[in-house]
Chains A and B, each alone.
Chain A
């Protein structure tokens, strides 16, 4: 169990360019989440997958954002035509149903990808 990994850790891009981030969850975790965190704020939910199905998307996820999890393992988050307001830390988390009592899907977070749009 190597934890949740995210690549790249940092990305600097010019306004209008497209960027793609990758998240590799803990193996066998069937749920994968994307959050966005801006400076001085808590993480905000963007979307989540159960296996390969995208079950929920936040209104924060504009048409320029798309996320995929094609084989139910890793996920990608793409931002098209980036804007300066997209500058943030993008966090990925994964979870799996607990087998013991209590059904909280405890989430394990990756280190994040920091995006800077110039």
Chain B
């Protein structure tokens, strides 16, 4: 079984500022890791994923994340945010053996203002 923790429920940031959204996971087995974004009244869209290999993963819309096995973290970063990045962001883990259900964190609300 695994669990995912997103410690920050809300992150306010000014436009063009950098941002980091934190994600930590706990698992007794190896996991794949994902970041999804959810805009109001919409489903989830995949931003990026870590399967194996390079620990720095680049995704869509200028986002990137770094897998840190020793700290069991997968923090999401963007060097310069836009108003349009305002949304809910979810970190998720998936057992590499079964590669089936996703276990999600509780989400981080990114609020970008001028």
Which A residues contact B (CB, under 8 angstroms)? Answer: 4, 31, 33, 35, 40-45, 48, 55-56, 91, 93, 102-112, 114
Partner of A56, one of B4, B51, B101: B101
From residue 1 to 24 of chain B, which have CB atoms closer than 8 A to chain A?
4, 6, 9
A102 & B52 in contact (Cβ 8 Å cutoff) = yes
User: Complex Cα distance A48/B101, Å?
Assistant: 8
Which B residues contact A (CB, under 8 angstroms)? Answer: 4, 6, 9, 32, 36, 41-46, 49, 51-52, 90, 92, 94, 96, 99-107
B107 & A42 in contact (Cβ 8 Å cutoff) = yes
What residues of chain B lie closer than 8 Å to A35, measured between beta carbons? 102
What residues of chain B lie closer than 8 Å to A91, measured between beta carbons? 43-44
Partner of A43, one of B44, B52, B94: B44
Nearest to B94 among chain A residues (CB) is A104
